[in-house]
Chain A
C-alpha cells in the first residue's frame, strides 16, 4: 500500500454509463492483484471530502498503468470525469484489500458479473489467461451498452454469455446459462460481483459442486485501509451461518468467500 500522485493518461467514455480512467502508477500497478482496489482523492479540497474507492479494471502488460472503470453516481464521480484529465495528477492509495484467489491447479473458471460489478473481473480474466486457465463470463446489466468489458472476456477465448434487462431478445438470464454449463463443465472456481441475488445463486452452485466461490463486496468507506472500522458488513463465520460477525470490506475484503456473505 502506498500513496502516489499518478499522472492521468486518459479519462474517456467507455460504454453506456461508464467511464474509463487510466493513470501511470508503476509501483501500484506492479503490486496489484485482481480484485484489489485503489482509493482516489478526487481533488485537494473539502468537497468531495473523502476518497472514493474503485476496483482496478485492468493493468497494462508492462504493469506501469492501471485502469478504473466507473459510473457517474454523484458529485465525486462527476468531478472525477471533469477534473482528472491528461496532465492532471491523480492522488491514489493502493493496492488495497485482499483480492481473488485463483487456485494453482485451476483449469476452468466462471466469472459472473452484473452492472458496475463487472469492473472487478477483467483483471482476473487477464490473470487466468496468462496462467492458461479458461474463463467463461456470464454478464448482465440493465441495458446492453452497460455490459462493460464483454470484448475483454471474449478475447481470452472463453465463452461469454450476456443478458440485458431491457433487451427483448435476451430471454435467458445469465444464471440459466451458468447452471446449464455447470452440468457439463467442471468449473474449478467461480467469481461473482454485482448483486446479492447473483451471489446467492453462485454460492448454491458452488456448494452443490464442492468448489470455491468468491465475491467482491462494497461498503461505504472512510479510510479504505483498515483504521476507521467504518466499512463493515455482516458475515457468516461458519459455513452453516450459525455464527455471525462483522468484517471490514477494505481490509478483510473486498473479496470474500460466497459462503461468508451469501445470506448476510
Chain B
C-alpha cells in the first residue's frame, strides 16, 4: 500500500486532499455524498468576526470550463459560529483548518484570536485574497508591507499553524509570498479565484450583481499550476495548491509543481464524488508506478539540480 500521508505546516494529513475554502460551504452538504473524513483535512468557508449577508444576486454564472461568481463571503453571526459550527467541526475526525478574513488588521487579529480560543482547529488560513470584497482581503495580499504587518499581527495572536491564502492577480506574488514567509506564516495556499468580469453584449452591463467577480474551475488550472510552480522556487514554505482541480491527474500535476496538499473546489458542485474518486485513483496510480510515498511527488517537475530554499519552519 502506498503511503499517502503528508505533514504540512505541522498538520498531519492522512492524504493530501482537501477542499478550497468556501466551496464546501458552511454546511458541507456535499459530504452527504461521502464521509467528510475521507479527505486529509477540511477547510470550511471563510468566517469573519461580524455577520454579513454577502453580495447581491446574480451571484453565479457559467463560463467556458468554469464558474464566474461573486458570493462575497456571507457570514453567520459569530455567536452562531461559536456555538454551532465550531463544536461540530471540532467533533470531526480530521484536521480542520478554519479560514478567516477581516476588513482591517485589527479585525484579522481579532478573528485569529477568537478562533484560537475555540480550541477546535488544527490550523488557520488567512484569506488575503478575496476578489469579492470591496474592503479588506485583496489589498492586504497585494502589498508586501501590508501582508507582512498583517501576518505578523496574526502570528502574535496564535500558536496554531498559519496558512496565508493568495490570489494569482498580483504582479507582486513573489515579494508578497516572501514577506509572508518572513512574517512567520507556516504555509501558503494558492490560488484563490482570480478577479474576472462578464459583460452582457445586449445590455452592456456586467452580468453578475457585484459587477466584478471571480473565476474558478478548470479554466484557471494552467495559471494556478504556474503560480504554485513559481512559489515553490521562490519560498521555502509548503504549499496548498488549488485552482481547477478535477481529477487525480490534476492532483499529480499540482504536486509535481510543488504543492504538498491539493484542494478540490468548484468541481465538487458539478461532481460531488470528484474528491473520493481522485483519492482512489491516485492510490492506484502510485501502486502501478511503484511510488510508495506521496511526498516523492512534491516538486517533481522542477529540474533535478534545482534546489529549493531551505525550510525555515516546520515541514
Q: Do A and B come together as binding partners?
A: yes
Q: Which of B32, B62, B71 is A228 in contact with, Cβ under 8 Å?
A: B71
| CA of A234 to CA of B209, assembled, Å | 12
Q: A3-B273, A41-B271, A220-B58 are in contact. Are A49 and B69 (CB under 8 A)?
A: no
Chain A residue contacts of B62, Cβ below 8 A: 48-50
Question: Can you identify 14 A-B contacts, CB atoms within 8 angstroms?
Answer: A3-B33, A3-B272, A47-B64, A49-B64, A50-B269, A50-B270, A227-B23, A227-B27, A228-B25, A228-B60, A230-B60, A232-B54, A234-B56, A246-B57
**Contacts of A197-253 to chain B: CB distance below 8 A:** 219-234, 245-246, 251
CB <8 Å contact, B23 and A228: yes
Chain A residue contacts of B26, Cβ below 8 A: 229
Chain B residue contacts of A171, Cβ below 8 A: none
- Nearest neighbor of B216 in chain A, beta-carbon distance: A222
**Minimum Cβ distance to chain A for residue B213 (Å):** 11
Seen from chain B, the residues whose Cβ lies within 8 Å of a Cβ on chain A are 23-30, 32-33, 53-54, 56-67, 69, 71, 74, 217-218, 266, 268-273
Q: Which of B23, B61, B66 is A220 in contact with, Cβ under 8 Å?
A: B61
Q: Which of A2, A224, A226 is B25 in contact with, Cβ under 8 Å?
A: A226
Chain A residue contacts of B65, Cβ below 8 A: 46-47, 49
| CA of A155 to CA of B184, assembled, Å | 72
- Nearest neighbor of A224 in chain B, beta-carbon distance: B269
Q: A219-B57, A227-B29, A245-B53 are in contact. Are A49 and B23 (CB under 8 A)?
A: no
**Minimum Cβ distance to chain B for residue A77 (Å):** 13
| CA of A232 to CA of B23, assembled, Å | 16
Chain A residue contacts of B30, Cβ below 8 A: 223, 225, 227
- Nearest neighbor of A251 in chain B, beta-carbon distance: B29
Seen from chain A, the residues whose Cβ lies within 8 Å of a Cβ on chain B are 1-3, 41, 46-51, 93, 219-234, 245-246, 251
Chain A residue contacts of B53, Cβ below 8 A: 245-246
- Nearest neighbor of A52 in chain B, beta-carbon distance: B62
- Nearest neighbor of A74 in chain B, beta-carbon distance: B62
**Minimum Cβ distance to chain A for residue B215 (Å):** 12
**Minimum Cβ distance to chain A for residue B70 (Å):** 9
| CA of A231 to CA of B269, assembled, Å | 13
Chain A residue contacts of B60, Cβ below 8 A: 220-222, 228, 230-231
Chain B residue contacts of A233, Cβ below 8 A: 57
**Minimum Cβ distance to chain B for residue A223 (Å):** 4
**Minimum Cβ distance to chain B for residue A227 (Å):** 3
**Minimum Cβ distance to chain B for residue A92 (Å):** 12
Chain B residue contacts of A46, Cβ below 8 A: 64-65, 218
Chain B residue contacts of A246, Cβ below 8 A: 53-54, 57, 74
Chain A residue contacts of B24, Cβ below 8 A: 227
Chain A residue contacts of B266, Cβ below 8 A: 222
Q: A46-B65, A232-B54, A232-B57 are in contact. Are A227 and B28 (CB under 8 A)?
A: yes
CB <8 Å contact, B271 and A227: no
| CA of A169 to CA of B274, assembled, Å | 54
- Nearest neighbor of B25 in chain A, beta-carbon distance: A227
CB <8 Å contact, B59 and A230: yes
**Minimum Cβ distance to chain B for residue A10 (Å):** 25
| CA of A95 to CA of B247, assembled, Å | 26
**Minimum Cβ distance to chain A for residue B19 (Å):** 10
| CA of A226 to CA of B57, assembled, Å | 15
Chain A residue contacts of B61, Cβ below 8 A: 220
- Nearest neighbor of B30 in chain A, beta-carbon distance: A227
- Nearest neighbor of B266 in chain A, beta-carbon distance: A222
Q: Which of B54, B67, B272 is A222 in contact with, Cβ under 8 Å?
A: B67
**Minimum Cβ distance to chain B for residue A248 (Å):** 10
| CA of A3 to CA of B272, assembled, Å | 9
| CA of A46 to CA of B216, assembled, Å | 13
| CA of A1 to CA of B33, assembled, Å | 9
| CA of A264 to CA of B24, assembled, Å | 28
| CA of A230 to CA of B69, assembled, Å | 7
Chain B residue contacts of A229, Cβ below 8 A: 25-26, 54, 59, 71, 74
CB <8 Å contact, A225 and B29: yes
| CA of A218 to CA of B63, assembled, Å | 19
Q: Which of B29, B59, B217 is A49 in contact with, Cβ under 8 Å?
A: B217
Chain A residue contacts of B29, Cβ below 8 A: 1, 223, 225-227, 251
**Minimum Cβ distance to chain B for residue A117 (Å):** 19
| CA of A106 to CA of B186, assembled, Å | 62
Chain B residue contacts of A230, Cβ below 8 A: 59-60, 69, 71
**New contact pairs (10) apart from A223-B25, A245-B53, A246-B57, CB-CB < 8 Å:** A1-B29, A41-B270, A46-B64, A46-B65, A47-B65, A50-B62, A222-B69, A227-B268, A231-B60, A246-B53
- Nearest neighbor of B67 in chain A, beta-carbon distance: A222
Please list the 4 inter-chain residue pairs (A to B) with the smallest Cβ-Cβ separation, ordered nearest first. A227-B25, A230-B60, A223-B269, A46-B65
**Minimum Cβ distance to chain A for residue B143 (Å):** 28
**Minimum Cβ distance to chain B for residue A85 (Å):** 22
Which of A93, A226, A230 has most B Cβ within 10 Å? A230
